Structure 1
Amino acid sequence: MSRRRLLAEINVVPYIDVSLVLLVIFMLSAPLLTQGVNVNLPKGATKPVSDKTPPILISVTRQGQISLQYRQTHSAVDLSALAEQVKAIAAANHDQVQVLVGGDTHVDYGKVMAVMARLQQAGISHVGLLTRPEGH
C-alpha cells in the first residue's frame, strides 16, 4: 500500500478575504467617527508658560469686588488701580508673569471684561481664565 503524503500548507485565501472586508469597513466608518466644530484658530508663535514664577490671581466676586493675589499677598483692588499694580508686579519679574482671572458664576460679564481690558492696557499678554471642572 502506498501512503499519501499529507499536505501541510495553510490556506491563506480566507484570511485575506476577511482582512480586506475589515479594511473596507474601517475605511467607510472612519469619516463617520470624526466629529467636531469648525473653528478658525488664530496663528501665532507661543512660548511655554514658565512655572518658576507664580501667577497673579485676580478674582471678581458676586458683588463685583476685585481682589488681587500674588504669592502671599491678598488685597482688594479698585478697577482704576488694577493696571498699575499688575504692571508693577510684572516689571519686578521682568515681564515673565502670567495673570489668571476668575469670576463668580453670577457676576456681570461686563465686569470681567472690564478687568480684561485693564490688563490689556497694562500690556499683559499672558492672561488665562479660571474655570471649575463640571461636577465640582
Structure 2
Amino acid sequence: MARTFRRKRSMEAVSEINVTPLIDLAFALLIIFMITTPLLEQTIPLNLPKEEQRDQPSRSDMEIQVISIDEGGQVYWGKEPISLVKLDDMLNGLSTRPEPPVLSIRGDAAIQYQKIIDVLNLVKKHKLSRISLDTQVR
C-alpha cells in the first residue's frame, strides 16, 4: 500500500462541483427576504400618527394580525374590508385560541379617535390583551 504523490495533469476534467458560491447566494437571498417581508405586510395606505423615536423591543416569532382603520372610518382585517359586527365575530374566534395573536391596530391620523376606541372596545370585550398601536417615527 504505497502512496504515490503525483500532480494531476492540467488537462483532466474536474469532477467536483464547488457549492460555496451557491450557499453564499442562498444566504444572501434569505437575508433579503427577511428584511423585505415585514415591509410588504403594510398594504393599506394610512397616514399614521407620529411619535418620538425610541428603541423598540425585538419581536420574536409571534403571530400578528393587523387591524387597520382608514381616514374614511372603514375597518380592515389584513387587506379585507370588514364591518364591526364581522370584526366582533373574528375576535371571538381568536379569543378561544390557547395562544391568541398580537393585534396590531393601525389607525389613520385624520380619523376621529372614537373609531379607534370602538375597535379597542371590541378587543377588550373578548379579553384579548396583546395589542400594538402602530405609529410613524418623526
TM bracket, shorter-chain basis: 0.5 to 0.7
Within 5 Å, give how 1:1-136 maps onto structure 2. Answer: 51-69=60-78, 74-92=79-97, 94-134=98-138
Write the letter of the residue equivalent to 2:136.
R
Contact 2:94 2:100 in 1 (8 A): no
Show the counterpart of 2:18: none
* Deviations 1:21-42, CA, capped at 9 Å, x for gaps: xxxxxxxxxxxxxxxxxxxxxx
Structure scoring higher RCO (CA < 8 A, sep ≥ 6) equals 2
Give, in whole Å, the separation in 2 of the partners of 1:111 and 1:104: 10
Secondary structure of 2:96's counterpart equals helix
Q: Deviations over 1:85-131 (max 9, x none)?
A: 12324535x23311011100101100010000011112211111000
Cα distance in 2, alignment partners of residues 95 and 79 from structure 1: 23
What is the deviation of 1:49?
Answer: 9.1
Query: Where in structure 1 are there 5+ consecutive unaligned residues?
Result: 1-47
Greater C-alpha Rg? 1
Quote how far apart the aligned CAs of 1:54 are. Answer: 2.3
Q: RMSD of aligned C-alpha atoms?
A: 2.2
Q: How far apart in 1 are the matches of 2:88 and 2:59?
A: 22
TM-score, normalised on structure 1?
A: 0.53
Q: Counterparts of 1:96 and 1:66 in 2: how far apart (Å)?
A: 20
Return the offset for 1:132: 0.6
User: Counterparts of 1:97 and 1:50 in 2: how far apart (Å)?
Assistant: 12
Identity of aligned residues (%): 18
5+ unaligned residues in a row in structure 2: which ranges?
A: 1-56
Cα distance in 1 between the residues matched to 2:109 and 2:71: 8
Q: What secondary structure sits across from 2:77 in the alignment? A: strand
Report the equivalent of 2:30: none
Note the C-alpha offset of 1:53.
Answer: 3.1
